[in-house]
Structure formats: structure tokens, C-alpha cells
Amino acid sequence: MSPYPAPHARSPWFLRRSNRHTYALVNSGGATLWNVRINPSNLPPTVRNLPEAAVVRPYESVEFLMADSVGAPVPREVWVSWEGQAQEVAVPVP
């Protein structure tokens, strides 16, 4: 299995930017998803409140903070996993 997320996997997720540094990971699918986690390995050190084992119901979201840092810009995507999804899925950052 590749250590990188699946580039074209079907995903119930999208990211919405709530304000300058606040992002919401939104579950656009029709099912509650368990043990939702964003992998911090490609994120700047300024990231806060990442979901680690979140439960996200349909059309609800979980918020986290992410800002540029010297030498560590906000990435183009975050890597999301959840119960029942064997490989992380890349979700574009707006």
C-alpha cells in the first residue's frame, strides 16, 4: 500500500474555508463517518484542532485552524481517513 493518499478515490469530503485561518471538513455524503482523522504529516506546524477520532454526521463538519508558517505554506490538499476507508483520501484545500 502506498504511503500517499489515493488521488482519485471517491470521497464524501470537501473543505470549506470559514475565515482566514479556519477550515471546515464537511461530510457531503449520506452516512455518519467514524474515526475521522486528518494526517498532519504534510501540514504546517501552525495547525490546531485537527480531528483525530471525530464522528461526523451527514452534511455536518469539523473545524480546524491552519495558517502559513515560515518555510511551511498551507498545502494544496489534506489527507483524510475514516473507519472503513483503508487508504487516506486527498481533499483539496480551497
Query: pLDDT tens digits for the chain (94 residues)?
Result: 455 555 545 789 999 999 999 999 999 999 999 999 999 999 999 999 999 999 999 999 999 999 988 888 999 999 999 999 879 999 999 9
**Cα 59 to Cα 94: distance, rounded to the nearest angstrom:** 18
**Alpha-carbon torsion 43, 45, 46, 47, what sign?**
positive
Q: What is the pTM of this model?
A: 0.87
